[in-house]
Structure 1
């Protein structure tokens, strides 16, 4: 069964948000109308300002009877109300449906939101979506190009939209568990309830025929039909023909309180519909502790587990429907088991569970990149021209990635397998290193049928590449660019990248940047780089960076005078985004704090950090100093752009381009969620393949989805490089944090670096405030020995400064002892 993911990240915070909620209101009390009213109330209780724009205002009886005319009469005042509400709101939340409702209500709301420059979220509902989109998909897509988020209440509707080239995220219906709840005590009396409007779509005629069959075995059974509709006369006549008499009761329209009480008086809820999505009647029955029998149409099999929390039967089959009802009514324990399972399922539809999913989509709409101004000029024209001149395909790739990020994980894995097979086959035909490797292993790339078969190949190390560098170059490779890593974790790496690899990494980074409502062309400052990189900043790059409003602040020399200069440059630029090593940005933040300079007034929207492990205290410092959220990124020149944090806190893997494995010291996959070495296959690296490349990092995968709705898998954590772990004298492996915590909060120490030279010697470089007191020196040695071993020699060296690595990074711990 496909249900909503558990909300595991950011808390709900929509206080002050101005929402124009567009949708029908009762009467009649249909599912969409009731959800609109309920959603407005819940949003207001959460602190949002909600303005309702009703699409079905009450009309005079004579006008309401003229079907075509009533729609035309409603349209002008609706458009006027919509235009005014859009001017006041920050976003429009449009409750959408099939047929003329889409064309008269939803499509105008989308276009008015666009004209007003406001965000728009379409909340599509209804089990007739398949037929509607089969007829009108082209028209729907024409309007949907301007929608910032599409949400649906079920996996069924998400699949329907996917079939028509549109991505939808699942935000399920909300059930009021305070109103709908089980009775304290209700002895069985064979009371059956049908809680759908009297319309042909819901096929109450079959329900009546099934009930007549039930009465042959249970003469005391009673059926209640709720609601009103055009089928009333026909159903009353059918009831006479079936001689149902007083065993059948038509209630007419009921208010919500009466409806909830009626559920609690029932022993079984019946749904006979011919098309459906996620009927509230089933959820309400579950919440009321009532077992359910339903047809297996549309989205119902996505909601219900047959014989677990309900019983499913074919539509228009009164005999099967009657047998299912009798099985429950004649076996109370069976009915109670179904009811218990259904009641447990309803917890997924409580507001506390649904609210994080909805607010994640609201934040997505509100954080959309700028659609006008200089930023839009750069992102839509100047940067695409720049990429075209460099023969990069990053623009098209980014647009495709913004679609594939919403694919379900199964579809992404299918894409990975297709691309993996192409890469492995290409390597066997064009790359000398892999031709020889495949022959040695008797590995046939054409027989790869599953991602797990990738593990038949050995793990690739930096040493392998450095020893056989020219053999990794494909014989049909295009122009290649030489790269190298800084070697801060040990052996430097020299390798090559083709234009396809560069294009994919640019596109992945670009997509992740846009998650945060910023785009290429927004003012940005980058605090990283080494002297080697800076020498490459020629005139062309200088002009390009000026066009892109990009400022490079070298991170390899952070003297007080240079930091003063950086602060001044930031104050002049007022960047929308800041990129950098977390350690270097923290140095800048502390420097500004020491001089009482406010960095939170620069207008920075997001701080992107990468290339180092991000510690929680660093995140806290940076968020407080810059007044902006911190987004963690993971990747490198060698392995590629691997993962990035979304605004909901999920560290999403770039699954379209990379296959990321977590393995143990023997190279075998670890259990999901467990920590191990990170191994990467870059699927766009055909010119110089990286297949099962050991990054030197340690991390774990997350098995839970992110509330943002993206299908991209998640990293639970990246714990650092292998060299960030230290080994005690007895062989125990521990993260460097075990030693960092000893020094981090000591006021006498301004900076430090720990270097484990061997199992017997660990050096500690310290920059003290005014000399390290002997007692503190003894305490540090004692605490280090308690962790590493009593015989380990702890050498403390006081220095005036701790230089950065050649790459400009600042690392707290380096271990030269192998951990495996």
Structure 2
């Protein structure tokens, strides 16, 4: 049994737990130190970055802090797919690495490679966000996921530490509730859309689950969903943020003042037209990983948007805050006048419309939106006109909104439910 990996994870975790209480300036200096190191490594060892830096006339010594990253081009998903072999560390033995495919819900999946140290560090970052919100070594932990891809038991789990059991995302809600009752977890992590369905089932059947903390991740969590989950589970709801390519990047604490950004593991930029936005403004989220030398991602445009904050959290942690997550670029509605609308108002419009069980809003053109709905027991023909009027109120009178009643709304291949989706170009 390989003992190096679990010991290393524990070591990283303890360092990360100490980091969060450092002052912001000390954390920024730690971030810049790690940034300079991985930039130098990428230039000297990764063919793609060596060529890229030379093309724009940048040398490693030109990148001294996060502010200097704007000297480098943005890295796109397309470039990663086309240059995969040249972005992976040529000295890395892939048989000893962790190769992770993304879900591909917005197109062809891409692969990300983690070296062993990077993978252990990444998992420690994820553990920090859970442990700081109530998880401990001996609590039972249920995770909602694809049962076909459940990983083997780890060294820790064989000794009863982090006893993770999996709830199949693709089972029906009644079966998921039965499994949760059988497991009786202290902590539950999963997609908010599916956890909300479980919460509704509990409410409709006057049933309950005694779970201390519910963690939501991988989808946009709106306030109505949060309230419904919290009420029907009787639990605090902690939202987590990140992506498969980088793993955990930000998370809520018990104060719910925003998302603590893991700046000791990733440099996060919020940009609009390659210029950093001010606190309170939305920007495209650009990641530079600071720990994965198997496949460094430098100025990677993940496709998400968020709003940075300059407030300090009441909890006292030095990790800075992101005010809120606005969703993926592909979830923004683009109008003819150039304006882009966050998916959040559309989520709320659906939640507040009587008679709707499920809905999906699809932008076909800049002046055409299709709303697919599944009605519930309160559905009537008036439901269609109500949702049409609400969507038009958000988009403007010049947008054609058509409502279609359907029997089924399919999830993405990843199991996620994207309530709002734009099918037009993101540019």
Task: Please show how residues 200-215 of structure 1 align to structure 2 within 5 Å.
Answer: none
Report what 1:402 is aligned to. Answer: 17
Is the contact between residue 577 and residue 607 of structure 1 (CA under 8 Å) also seen in structure 2? yes
Alpha-carbon distance change, 571 to 432 in structure 1, aligned in 2, over 3 angstroms? same
Report what 1:439 is aligned to. Answer: 54
- Among candidates 329, 338, 346, match of residue 739 of structure 1: 346
Alpha-carbon RMSD: 2.4
Is the contact between residue 465 and residue 472 of structure 1 (CA under 8 Å) also seen in structure 2? yes
Is the contact between residue 545 and residue 551 of structure 1 (CA under 8 Å) also seen in structure 2? no
Q: Cα distance, 1:786 vs. partner? A: 4.2
Structure 2 gaps of 5+ residues are: none
Report what 1:271 is aligned to. Answer: none
Structure 1 gaps of 5+ residues are: 1-384
- Among candidates 243, 251, 268, match of residue 660 of structure 1: 268
Is the contact between residue 392 and residue 499 of structure 1 (CA under 8 Å) also seen in structure 2? no
Alpha-carbon distance change, 806 to 546 in structure 1, aligned in 2, over 3 angstroms? farther
Report what 1:621 is aligned to. Answer: 228
Report what 2:79 is aligned to. Answer: 464
Alpha-carbon distance change, 537 to 528 in structure 1, aligned in 2, over 3 angstroms? closer
TM-score computed with the length of structure 1 as normaliser: 0.49
- Among candidates 671, 675, 689, match of residue 278 of structure 2: 671
Alpha-carbon distance change, 577 to 568 in structure 1, aligned in 2, over 3 angstroms? same
Aligned-partner SS, 2:410 = coil
Task: Please show how residues 513-552 of structure 1 align to structure 2 within 5 Å.
Answer: 513-529=130-146, 534-537=147-150, 544=157, 547=160, 548-552=162-166
Q: Cα distance, 1:442 vs. partner? A: 1.4
Paired with 2:382 and 2:127, the residues of 1 have a C-alpha distance of 52
Paired with 1:522 and 1:770, the residues of 2 have a C-alpha distance of 39
Is the contact between residue 428 and residue 445 of structure 1 (CA under 8 Å) also seen in structure 2? yes
Paired with 1:648 and 1:770, the residues of 2 have a C-alpha distance of 37
Residue 610 of structure 1 pairs with residue 217 of structure 2: yes
Alpha-carbon distance change, 543 to 417 in structure 1, aligned in 2, over 3 angstroms? closer
Report what 1:589 is aligned to. Answer: 199
- Among candidates 321, 328, 333, match of residue 714 of structure 1: 321
- Among candidates 468, 490, 494, match of residue 111 of structure 2: 494
Paired with 2:366 and 2:64, the residues of 1 have a C-alpha distance of 45
Is the contact between residue 699 and residue 717 of structure 1 (CA under 8 Å) also seen in structure 2? yes
Deviations 1:526-583 (A, max 9, x none): 1233xxxx3333765799589443221122x253xxx222222222222110101111
Alpha-carbon distance change, 594 to 390 in structure 1, aligned in 2, over 3 angstroms? same
Report what 1:321 is aligned to. Answer: none
Report what 1:553 is aligned to. Answer: 167
Is the contact between residue 354 and residue 378 of structure 2 (CA under 8 Å) also seen in structure 1? no
Residue 632 of structure 1 pairs with residue 201 of structure 2: no
Report what 2:373 is aligned to. Answer: 766
Deviations 1:157-176 (A, max 9, x none): xxxxxxxxxxxxxxxxxxxx
Aligned-partner SS, 2:123 = helix
Is the contact between residue 466 and residue 493 of structure 1 (CA under 8 Å) also seen in structure 2? yes
Report what 2:33 is aligned to. Answer: 418
- Among candidates 74, 91, 94, match of residue 476 of structure 1: 91
Paired with 1:648 and 1:458, the residues of 2 have a C-alpha distance of 36
Aligned-partner SS, 1:424 = helix
Task: Please show how residues 7-156 of structure 1 align to structure 2 within 5 Å.
Answer: none
Q: Cα distance, 1:466 vs. partner? A: 0.6
Residue 578 of structure 1 pairs with residue 197 of structure 2: no
Residue 755 of structure 1 pairs with residue 362 of structure 2: yes
Aligned length: 423
Is the contact between residue 727 and residue 788 of structure 1 (CA under 8 Å) also seen in structure 2? no
Alpha-carbon distance change, 546 to 744 in structure 1, aligned in 2, over 3 angstroms? farther
Aligned-partner SS, 1:652 = strand
Q: Cα distance, 1:703 vs. partner? A: 0.5
- Among candidates 785, 788, 797, match of residue 404 of structure 2: 797
Greater fraction of residues in strand:
2
Aligned-partner SS, 1:680 = strand
**Which is bigger in relative contact order (C-alpha 8 A, separation at least 6)?**
2
Residue 507 of structure 1 pairs with residue 116 of structure 2: no
Deviations 1:585-644 (A, max 9, x none): 001111121111122xx2x22111111111111111111111111111101111221011
Aligned-partner SS, 1:407 = coil
Paired with 2:38 and 2:107, the residues of 1 have a C-alpha distance of 29
Deviations 1:391-417 (A, max 9, x none): 772111111112111111111111111
Paired with 2:133 and 2:74, the residues of 1 have a C-alpha distance of 35
Paired with 1:489 and 1:499, the residues of 2 have a C-alpha distance of 28
Deviations 1:400-452 (A, max 9, x none): 11211111111111111111111011001110100110111111102333321
Is the contact between residue 333 and residue 343 of structure 2 (CA under 8 Å) also seen in structure 1? yes
Is the contact between residue 392 and residue 399 of structure 2 (CA under 8 Å) also seen in structure 1? yes
Aligned-partner SS, 2:403 = strand
Paired with 1:518 and 1:790, the residues of 2 have a C-alpha distance of 49
Alpha-carbon distance change, 606 to 728 in structure 1, aligned in 2, over 3 angstroms? same
Alpha-carbon distance change, 776 to 646 in structure 1, aligned in 2, over 3 angstroms? closer
Alpha-carbon distance change, 464 to 391 in structure 1, aligned in 2, over 3 angstroms? farther
Paired with 2:45 and 2:127, the residues of 1 have a C-alpha distance of 30
Greater fraction of residues in helix:
1
Deviations 1:682-737 (A, max 9, x none): 10122101111112111111101112111111111111111221123433211123
Paired with 1:406 and 1:727, the residues of 2 have a C-alpha distance of 41
Aligned-partner SS, 1:503 = helix
- Among candidates 304, 309, 317, match of residue 702 of structure 1: 309
Aligned-partner SS, 1:699 = strand
Aligned-partner SS, 1:757 = strand
Aligned-partner SS, 2:17 = helix
* Structure of higher CA gyration radius: 1
Deviations 1:325-381 (A, max 9, x none): xxxxxxxxxxxxxxxxxxxxxxxxxxxxxxxxxxxxxxxxxxxxxxxxxxxxxxxxx
Is the contact between residue 640 and residue 682 of structure 1 (CA under 8 Å) also seen in structure 2? no
Alpha-carbon distance change, 509 to 523 in structure 1, aligned in 2, over 3 angstroms? same
Aligned-partner SS, 2:275 = coil
Is the contact between residue 140 and residue 164 of structure 2 (CA under 8 Å) also seen in structure 1? yes
Q: Cα distance, 1:779 vs. partner? A: 4.1
Paired with 2:383 and 2:226, the residues of 1 have a C-alpha distance of 28
Is the contact between residue 427 and residue 689 of structure 1 (CA under 8 Å) also seen in structure 2? yes
Paired with 1:392 and 1:795, the residues of 2 have a C-alpha distance of 57
Aligned-partner SS, 2:42 = helix
Report what 1:347 is aligned to. Answer: none
Paired with 1:539 and 1:694, the residues of 2 have a C-alpha distance of 32
